[in-house]
Amino acid sequence: MHRFANPARFLKIAGRIRPFAALVAVLTLIPGLYFALFASPADYQQGDTVRIMYIHVPSAWLAMAGYSTMALASAVALVWRHPVAELTARSAAPIGAAFTLLCLVTGSLWGKPMWGTWWVWDARLTSVLVLFFLYLGYIALADAFDDPERGGRAAGLLAIVGAVNVPIIKFSVDWWNTLHQPASVMKLGGPSIHPDMLLPLGLMAVGFTAAYAWLLLRNVETALLERKLRMAELADLDLAR
Amino acid sequence: MSGFFAMGGYAAFIWPTYGLAILTMLGLLIWTMRRHARAAKLVAELEARRPRRRGVV
């Protein structure tokens, strides 16, 4: 972890990983879309709506991965004061929020034809909605202070406290058995989903994750540039005094 | 082909899902690239300005 703390070193590593992530994203998302829309069977109960899963489930995973990134990076930033960690948490927030929104909307689009309703206050849906609001709260709080460092610390605390929601989301389908179906991929005893459907899901999941990695790295790089600009501005103010 | 677009009668739910997914991905990509281009340009300007300022101070 400490090796990445040095911004110059981080930039070097990020510059190496990013093209690789872009390549993986392109090479999995294109065949992923092909299998998801053309070359996979309709479900025997859900018909073609099962194709919504290939978008809905990867975005749900990224919603969780984004929040986990944010909470972990915030913890590292609070303990060791690494600037790259704080910028990582800040950068993960809008990306994770976007995928959480995509997860909620596509879930609605799946719920209407299959459950007969766009929305229900089921534990899984409610806890993911709370996740979305935690993201929004983090983003608002991080920018609410004139001193970005103070904002980062306050928002970081929110991210860490809110992390309790992540296992609640994961296990909500087991603890409160309501409308949302339980896990069928990441569960004990292996996935209970047919290989013909696991293939497009796997491709899309890898593609979404690679795209997320690319976006995150690029935004941390940008945040480092913006930090440099801010510091130069402060130095200018000092000179003007 | 029309059968494909009909998606077994669920076209109204499946196509918006894929449209929104592509929109989200492209939106994030464009936002990220623009933000980076803007910051990179400002840093380049700053670095071009710096040697001169050093001479003054």
ipTM reported for the complex, 2 dp: 0.91
Find the angle CA(A9)-CA(A99)-CA(B16) to the nearest 5 degrees. Answer: 140
Q: Is residue A70 part of a domain?
A: yes
Q: Is residue A169 part of a domain?
A: yes
* CATH number for A67: 1.20.120
Q: Is residue A207 part of a domain?
A: yes
Site from A45, A218, A238 to mutate, B interface, most B CB atoms within 10 angstroms: A218
Q: Is residue A4 part of a domain?
A: no
The CA distance from A236 to A47, in Å, is 63
Site from B2, B14, B34, B42 to mutate, A interface, most A CB atoms within 10 angstroms: B14
Helix (H, G, I), strand (E, B) or coil at A47: strand
Global pTM value: 0.92
Question: Which candidate from B8, B20, B35 shows the least CB-CB separation from A47?
Answer: B8
The residue segments making up the domain with residue A235 are 19-40+47-240
Tally of domains in chain A = 1
DSSP state of A179: S
Q: Do the Cβ atoms of A47 and B43 come within 8 Å?
A: no
Per-residue pLDDT tens listing for chain A (241 residues): 566 678 899 999 999 999 999 999 999 999 999 999 998 999 998 999 999 999 999 999 999 999 999 999 999 999 998 889 999 999 999 999 999 999 999 999 999 999 999 999 999 999 999 999 999 999 999 999 988 889 999 999 999 999 999 999 999 998 887 789 888 888 878 888 999 999 999 999 999 999 999 999 999 999 999 999 998 888 887 777 6
Q: Is residue A7 part of a domain?
A: no
Instruction: From A61, A49, A81, A55, select the one nearest A200 (Cα to Cα).
Output: A55
CB B23 within 8 A of CB A63: no
The CA distance from A51 to A201, in Å, is 9
From the CB of residue A183, how many other CB atoms can be counted at a distance below 10 Å? 13
Q: Is residue A1 part of a domain?
A: no
Q: Which residue has the tokens 């990179």?
A: B40
